[in-house]
């Protein structure tokens, strides 16, 4: 054989070999919606998402343990028209199987119009044997970006227990991950670019969200994120579950994103709070006893002294109630559920309804097992016994003291998670109240908040907070629980997004003067003003916790008159990502006859009387107003017309231990009602109708009235207008006064009936 010929043949053969088409992986699946680009590598079980035209993105997201796709057989499908009650999506589904492992069904749903990405991970046991399942990753990325650098990225989140709050961290400092249970939100303080990771459903898996610094080079431009769920279950052969829906939302308004998450939670759990448990201002008994009432815990008072106090000071006309006439049921779910508050005890439940363990807390109380159908059956019977005779009553059923609820050994059904057993305990109460006593509310006291979706109407969002205002204790004491007003402020602030969407937020009872104080000191007037106004603005329940057994200063009576009752409007903490605690709360008010804002500014504390607080607010970003329009500001407690602004609003310098509450109304080329004296929410409670007739130059309206309570309309009058006369219904005589651009109209109703009024210009 010719050597040269042989070498040439080999060369030709090699060329032919390397010229053969190589087996290649399937091209990535591409999803292109209005705002999002999603790429999915099905074989590698990895995906990425970016917000078009922005630096916001998650790269190389994985969910398999160890990011190891080897041995998995994965098939994929795409649904470009995935519409459901959560929105319209393009959804990629991956189905995976591997010998000896749970099958998975993994979905990535990209919102067709917004920036939502929903992720779910279901598992099926086709192995023929029981499988233990603890934590399960839904998404992990070592390369999450907002644009810019991590020294500008501020992060906070929400925990499950109502006594666990939040911190403001800078991502660059999170060398060790920070974990939250309900959501974790990261915001660039310069651009507002934000990432929210949170759950939409909480039915079986308890979610967790990690953030840590993610850069390894010279430029800190990324972070590491993780979303996962804790199950702690044994999955029997043949069993499967769908998994939770977790939310990834890039945005430029982190506060709105948190409220959006709550809206999705409400939809997913079919809550319909404002329809099913409205704060109906035309039903004074229901509002007074369910939302605006005496709360005796820690006060040293009692129902008898409180009722006399309310009657003597005319406060029943201001919607203050006693919590309802019947016994208040409680369904504390650790154990015996003793006989307090009129609830039947569980002492006769058989032993199989309890686990073979005792709690460390609460003196070793037995732990009830709600994975056992017999326990649920007996609990339902217990509820029906309690509710009998109270079918037409207002008031509350209490869900109490289960904030350490977790998975315990020895339960009847090891496939049920702690979240599932909790809900099994609470849902019979929800059903009984809805069916038997629909004028009552279900209120939680100290619960894992996210376990209560769809079960409770009013949720305690803080630890006990009625032990006092503040103390000068050294931080060396390392006090985990203070029981002070601090708890209300922190808990209400970082759970603001739930309010009016998932449940009505309850920041616990508040004080205005005399209570059972450990230091024997009464609340000062300024402490009372701050505490009462915070509850009146930031939450939607008013549980006054007072002794009411001595004469009270007139200014405290005035506080109670001006803050009650709550309305269905809710506020958000404008400076949540800037200060802990936030000091500025904005409440948009929408009515068929107009929109306006109620803005509250707090200076909670301070030892230097000369150190005042002011905030410079952006009309669009902070107050959600049109930056091109001019607005009028009026301050409630000082009774001052502050003036007008456009684009920016600087609040008045505020001394320590004080609060300003502004009404902010769009300026018109005609007279505008800017405030009323009845309620600190300024017009949100008392104005039932409002209109201006340009042809007759008449501003008219209808106001709720309280018999004998002086009432004032505050009207901004622009140049070219002057008030001529006022007409009132009920034969009332008005008093009209002008001071520059401010017109006031005063009257006092003799009957308490609604007053129709007309102001002619």
- Parallel/antiparallel/unpaired status of strands 687-693 and 245-251: unpaired
Instruction: For residue 367, name the pLDDT band (cuts at 50, 70, 90).
Output: confident
351 and 204 in a single domain? The answer is no
DSSP 334: S
Separation in Å, CA 411 to CA 231, 233, 405, 418? 14, 11, 13, 10
590 and 697 in a single domain? The answer is yes
Q: Which residue has the tokens 């630096």?
A: 55
Say what the pLDDT of residue 482 is: 81
Copy the structure tokens of residue 705: 């009235």
Q: Which residues of 80-97 are buried (b: 16+ CB within 10 A; e: fewer)?
A: eebeeebbebbbbbbbbe
675 and 584 in a single domain? The answer is yes
- Give 483 or 238, the one with higher predicted confidence: 238
Q: What is the mean pLDDT of residues 82-87?
A: 95
308 and 357 in a single domain? The answer is no
CA distance 142 to 101: 25
Say what the pLDDT of residue 634 is: 98
DSSP string, 66-86: GG--TT-EEEEEEEEEEEETT
553 and 592 in a single domain? The answer is no
Residue 311 has pLDDT above 80, yes or no: yes
211 and 314 in a single domain? The answer is no
134: burial class by Cβ within 10 Å (0-12, 13-18, 19+)? Answer: exposed
Q: Which helix (H) or strand (E) holds 265?
A: helix 254-268
Say what the pLDDT of residue 399 is: 80
Whether residue 13 is contained in a domain is answered as no
Residue 244 has pLDDT above 60, yes or no: yes
Is cis: bond before 591, omega within 30 of 0? Answer: no
Instruction: For residue 335, name the pLDDT band (cuts at 50, 70, 90).
Output: low
Q: What is the mean pLDDT of residues 598-616?
A: 89
Of 570, 604, 621, the one marking the end of a domain is 570
Residue 1 has pLDDT above 80, yes or no: no
Whether residue 16 is contained in a domain is answered as no
Whether residue 79 is contained in a domain is answered as yes
Residues of the chain with pLDDT > 90, as a percent, come to 80
Residues 608-659: pLDDT tens digits?
777 899 999 999 999 999 999 999 999 999 999 999 999 999 999 999 999 9
DSSP 418: H
CA distance 599 to 140: 39
341 and 237 in a single domain? The answer is no
- Give 407 or 646, the one with higher predicted confidence: 646
Residues 571-592: pLDDT tens digits?
999 999 999 999 999 999 999 9
- Give 473 or 274, the one with higher predicted confidence: 274
Say what the pLDDT of residue 339 is: 43
Q: What is the mean pLDDT of residues 155-180?
A: 94
Say what the pLDDT of residue 519 is: 81
Q: What is the mean pLDDT of residues 689-703?
A: 97
Instruction: For residue 476, name the pLDDT band (cuts at 50, 70, 90).
Output: low
Say what the pLDDT of residue 336 is: 52
Whether residue 452 is contained in a domain is answered as no
**Angle between the N-to-C axes of helices 525-538 and 554-563, in degrees from 0 to 180, rounded to the nearest 10:** 10
- Parallel/antiparallel/unpaired status of strands 458-460 and 440-444: parallel
Whether residue 20 is contained in a domain is answered as no
Say what the pLDDT of residue 332 is: 65
Dihedral angle over CA of 449, 454, 458, 459, nearest 10 = 0
Residue 475 has pLDDT above 60, yes or no: no
How many residues belong to the chain? 761
Residues of the chain with pLDDT > 70, as a percent, come to 92
Q: What is the CATH number of the domain that holds 188?
A: 2.70.98.10
Instruction: For residue 517, name the pLDDT band (cuts at 50, 70, 90).
Output: confident
Instruction: For residue 500, name the pLDDT band (cuts at 50, 70, 90).
Output: very high
Q: What sign does the dihedral 575-638-511-679 (CA atoms) show?
A: negative
Residue 134 has pLDDT above 70, yes or no: yes
Instruction: For residue 20, name the pLDDT band (cuts at 50, 70, 90).
Output: very low
φ, ψ (nearest 5 deg) of residue 291:
-125, -20
177 and 65 in a single domain? The answer is yes
Q: In the predicted model, what is the mean pLDDT of the chain? A: 91
Whether residue 250 is contained in a domain is answered as yes
123 and 150 in a single domain? The answer is yes
- Give 193 or 328, the one with higher predicted confidence: 193
Say what the pLDDT of residue 520 is: 86
**Residue ranges making up the domain that contains 738:** 572-760
Q: What is the mean pLDDT of residues 453-473?
A: 89
Residues 185-239: pLDDT tens digits?
999 999 999 999 999 999 999 999 999 998 777 779 999 999 999 999 999 999 9
Copy the structure tokens of residue 533: 């106004």
Lowest mean pLDDT among 180-189, 495-504, 598-607: 598-607
52 and 189 in a single domain? The answer is yes
Whether residue 277 is contained in a domain is answered as no
Which residues partner with 293 through β-bridges? 321, 543
SS3 213: strand
**Strand runs (DSSP E) across 342-467, as ranges?**
354-358, 366-368, 395-399, 440-444, 458-460
Residue 6 has pLDDT above 90, yes or no: no
514 and 579 in a single domain? The answer is no
Instruction: For residue 606, name the pLDDT band (cuts at 50, 70, 90).
Output: confident
375 and 503 in a single domain? The answer is no
Who contacts 170 (Cβ-Cβ below 8 Å, separation ≥6)? Answer: 150, 151, 152, 153, 154, 155
Q: What is the mean pLDDT of residues 471-485?
A: 70
φ, ψ (nearest 5 deg) of residue 734:
-90, 160
Q: What is the CATH number of the domain that holds 658?
A: 2.60.40.1180
Say what the pLDDT of residue 11 is: 41
Q: What is the mean pLDDT of residues 657-668?
A: 98
SS3 78: strand
275: burial class by Cβ within 10 Å (0-12, 13-18, 19+)? Answer: exposed
Residue 329 has pLDDT above 90, yes or no: no
Of 570, 603, 620, the one marking the end of a domain is 570
Instruction: For residue 692, name the pLDDT band (cuts at 50, 70, 90).
Output: very high
- 590 Rama sector, left if φ>0, alpha if ψ -120 to 50, beta otherwise: beta
Of 542, 570, 598, the one marking the end of a domain is 570
- Number of structural domains (the chain) is 4
Residue 362 has pLDDT above 90, yes or no: no
Say what the pLDDT of residue 349 is: 86
Whether residue 4 is contained in a domain is answered as no
């Amino acid at each position: 054989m010719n050597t040269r010929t042989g070498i040439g043949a080999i060369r030709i053969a090699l060329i032919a070999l390397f010229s053969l088409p190589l087996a290649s992986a399937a091209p990535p699946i591409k999803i292109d919606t209005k705002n999002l680009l999603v790429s999915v590598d099905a074989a590698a079980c990895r995906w990425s998402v970016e917000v078009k035209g922005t630096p916001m993105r998650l790269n190389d997201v994985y969910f398999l343990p160890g990011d190891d796709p080897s041995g998995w057989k994965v098939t994929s499908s795409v649904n470009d028209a995935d519409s459901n009650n959560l929105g319209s999506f393009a959804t990629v589904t991956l189905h995976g199987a591997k010998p000896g492992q749970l099958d998975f069904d993994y979905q990535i749903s990209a919102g067709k119009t917004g920036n939502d990405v929903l992720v779910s991970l279901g598992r099926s046991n086709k192995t023929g044997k029981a499988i233990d399942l603890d934590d399960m990753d839904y998404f992990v990325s070592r390369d999450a970006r907002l644009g810019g650098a991590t020294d500008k990225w501020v992060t906070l989140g929400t925990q499950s227990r109502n006594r666990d709050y939040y911190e403001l961290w800078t991502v660059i400092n999170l060398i060790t991950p920070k974990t939250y249970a309900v959501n974790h939100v990261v915001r660039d303080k310069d651009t507002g670019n934000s990432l929210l990771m949170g759950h939409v459903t909480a039915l079986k898996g308890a979610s967790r969200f990690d953030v840590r610094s993610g850069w390894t080079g010279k430029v800190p431009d990324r972070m590491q994120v993780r979303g996962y769920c804790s199950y702690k279950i044994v999955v029997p052969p043949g069993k499967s579950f769908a998994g939770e829906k977790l939310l990834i939302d890039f945005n430029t308004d982190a506060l709105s994103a948190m409220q959006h998450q709550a809206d999705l939670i409400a939809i997913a759990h079919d809550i319909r709070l404002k329809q099913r448990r409205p704060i109906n201002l035309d039903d004074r008994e229901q509002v007074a006893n369910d939302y605006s009432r005496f709360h005796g815990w820690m006060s040293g008072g009692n129902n008898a002294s409180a009722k006399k106090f309310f009657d003597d000071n005319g406060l029943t006309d201001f919607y203050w109630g006693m919590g309802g006439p019947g016994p208040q049921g409680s369904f504390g779910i650790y154990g015996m559920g003793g006989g307090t508050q009129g609830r039947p005890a569980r002492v006769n439940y058989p032993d199989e309804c309890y686990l073979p363990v005792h709690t460390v807390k609460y003196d070793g109380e037995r732990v009830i097992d709600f994975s056992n159908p017999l326990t649920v059956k007996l609990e339902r019977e217990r509820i029906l016994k309690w509710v009998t005779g109270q079918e037409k009553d207002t008031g509350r059923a209490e869900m109490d003291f289960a904030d350490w609820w977790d998975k315990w050994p020895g339960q009847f059904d090891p496939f049920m998670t702690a979240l599932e057993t909790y809900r099994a305990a609470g849902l019979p109460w929800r059903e009984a109240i809805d069916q038997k006593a629909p004028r009552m509310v279900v209120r939680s006291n100290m619960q894992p908040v996210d376990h209560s979706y769809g079960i409770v109407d009013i949720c305690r969002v803080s630890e006990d907070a009625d032990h006092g205002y503040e103390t000068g204790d050294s931080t060396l004491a390392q006090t985990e629980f203070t029981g002070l007003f601090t708890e209300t402020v922190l808990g209400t602030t970082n759970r603001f997004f739930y309010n009016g969407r998932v449940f009505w937020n309850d920041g616990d009872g508040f004080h205005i003067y005399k209570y059972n104080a450990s230091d024997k000191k009464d609340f000062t007037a300024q402490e009372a003003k701050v505490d009462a106004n915070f509850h009146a603005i930031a939450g939607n329940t008013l549980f006054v916790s007072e002794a009411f057994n001595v004469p009270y200063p007139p200014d405290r009576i005035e506080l109670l008159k001006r803050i009650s009752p709550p309305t269905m409007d809710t506020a958000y903490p404008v400076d949540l990502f800037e200060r802990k605690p936030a000091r500025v709360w904005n409440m948009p008010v929408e009515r068929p006859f107009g929109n306006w804002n109620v803005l509250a500014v707090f200076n909670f504390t301070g030892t230097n009387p000369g150190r005042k607080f002011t905030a410079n607010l952006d009309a669009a970003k902070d107050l959600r107003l049109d930056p091109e329009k001019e607005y009028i500001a009026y301050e409630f407690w000082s009774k001052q017309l502050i003036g007008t602004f456009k684009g920016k609003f600087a609040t008045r310098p505020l001394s320590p231990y004080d609060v300003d509450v502004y009404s902010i109304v769009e300026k018109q080329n005609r007279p505008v009602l800017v405030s009323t004296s009845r309620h600190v929410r300024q017009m949100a409670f008392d104005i039932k109708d409002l209109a201006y007739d340009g042809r007759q130059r008449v501003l008219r309206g209808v106001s709720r009235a309280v018999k004998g309570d002086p009432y004032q309309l505050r009207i901004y009058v622009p140049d070219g207008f002057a008030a001529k006369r006022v007409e009132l219904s009920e034969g009332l005589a008005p008093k009209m006064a002008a001071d520059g651009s401010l017109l006031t109209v005063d009257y006092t109703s003799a009957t308490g009936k609604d007053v129709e009024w007309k102001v002619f210009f």
